[in-house]
Structure 1
Amino acid sequence: MIKLEGLTKVYKMGNVSVTALKDINLNIEKEEFVAIMGPSGSGKSTLMNILGCLDKPTKGKYILDGVSIQGLNDDELAMIRNRKIGFVFQAFNLLSRTTALKNVELPMMYAGVSAKERRKRAIELLEKVGLGDRINHKPNEMSGGQRQRVAIARALVNNPAIILADEPTGNLDTKSGEEIMDIFENLNKEGVTIVIVTHEPDIAQKAKRVVTFRDGVIIEDRQIK
């Protein structure tokens, strides 16, 4: 599903070069559930931006679901983001004045899905994450855990090849965080490939594999289930 070969990312800050990732080699197979860990500044957020086609490596190869990302233009990258990747963020990134239903429908609008099909699929996914009775509520009428469920439903609408979740439990209490991780576990059992970034060891233990970064390199890669 994901193949990284010699992946390096260098940021230029004036006359100073900062290497965020150094010669990373990493394979993630279809239907894996992988947690990316590491201290602040370890390179895990840079890695997620590259995996999500939001940033490009300075050198090295990134192949996503059989497609080489190098050389693609911005429109092609946007198309891959919309079709192959579902994003879940720590801050939810929902439209605050819009209902859960409309938030979930949004990516399908960009994909050209008909209004009838958008509504049907959005309702199905909101029911799947336990929010069938909240489809007409706005984010400010929901708890943090419920907002993150909306974000997960939105991430699933275009049947992505992979879900990328950046600190998905970071703004949640312990119980809500566990419920969100249970949803990810169930999605993975259904065949969805999931990669999450977390700094919480107990959250990482819910994954099947933990890859730990420090100073831009992988220092540990272990199976836990």
Structure 2
Amino acid sequence: MALQMISEADASKPVTVPQGDVIVVEDIWRTYDMGSEQQVNALQGINLKIRHNEYVAIMGPSGSGKSTLMNIIGCLDTPSRGTYRLNGHLVSDLNDDELARIRNREIGFVFQTFNLLARASALHNVELPLIYNGTPAAERIERATAALRAVNLEGRMNHKPNELSGGQRQRVAIARALINRPSIILADEPTGNLDSKTGDEIMALFDELHARGNTIIVVTHEPDIAEFAHRIVHIRDGVIASDVASSRVRRSGE
């Protein structure tokens, strides 16, 4: 499944990414107050750096803290203590409008449950981030059409989610993630609701996005999905248990 470029104008234009570390997490803790003076530390002193155009899998069992870390990296949650820098900016210094802009423009999100509007067409679902930032209607339609074409769904753009297969719904979600041309793609269990063949097709899309210059971060509990990445960060009980090259990288000698 070949990933086409988002538009003719972008065909010769690589994804614009900053040099060096795009994500720097230092001594991050996330503590939840459970009441009755009980606290749970979902993350405990996490240190992590991700460079531009890295392909990283964050892996761990349920309850390990991987989703909590994903939420912090995606600016959906804030740490209880520690620092997080995104593209050189200290995230704790950003206001709500600035955080919303980052979530809308700099990070493309892909979720296990697709998060599509049930009554909206594939085209309208992909348009949504552009509606939020005030893009004119004609440009929205042009860019959403191009994004659906990029994931080989141009012929299904007027179909609603219940008229699409699971793999097609996830491709709509990926097209939506691409619509603002973010440099970072953050995917939470992107194959969790898919059969293995369709899951492999979706992961092949991430391979091609990585080849275009995107930084890819995939959160998963599945070892075979993690092996699509070049680097695997294992989290257990809120701490990083290991941070290693994947077997595909070791086999290639990279």
- Classify the TM-score, shorter chain: over 0.9
1:78-93 alignment runs, 5 A limit: 78-93=100-115
Confirm whether residue 104 of structure 1 aligns to residue 126 of structure 2. yes
Give SS of 2:93's match.
Answer: coil
Counterpart selection for 1:12 from 24, 30, 33? 33
- 1:156-185, Cα deviation, whole Å (9 max, x unpaired): 111112111000000001111000000000
Counterpart selection for 1:161 from 176, 183, 188? 183
CA offset at residue 13 of structure 1?
0.9
Counterpart selection for 2:139 from 103, 117, 122? 117
Confirm whether residue 197 of structure 1 aligns to residue 219 of structure 2. yes
Confirm whether residue 60 of structure 1 aligns to residue 78 of structure 2. no
Confirm or deny: 8 A CA contact 1:65 1:161 kept in the other structure: no
CA offset at residue 57 of structure 1?
0.4
Confirm whether residue 213 of structure 1 aligns to residue 235 of structure 2. yes
Gaps of 5+ in 2: 1-21, 250-254
Q: Which amino acid aligns with 1:34?
A: V
Gaps of 5+ in 1: none
Counterpart selection for 1:132 from 154, 171, 176? 154
Matching residue of 1:2: 23
Q: Which amino acid aligns with 1:9?
A: R
TM-score by structure 1 length? 0.98
Tell me the distance in 1 between the aligned counterparts of 2:131 and 2:65: 33
- 1:58-79, Cα deviation, whole Å (9 max, x unpaired): 1111111122101323222112
Tell me the distance in 2 between the aligned counterparts of 1:183 and 1:43: 26
TM-score by structure 2 length? 0.87
Tell me the distance in 1 between the aligned counterparts of 2:88 and 2:157: 36
Confirm or deny: 8 A CA contact 2:183 2:213 kept in the other structure: no
CA RMSD between the two structures: 0.8
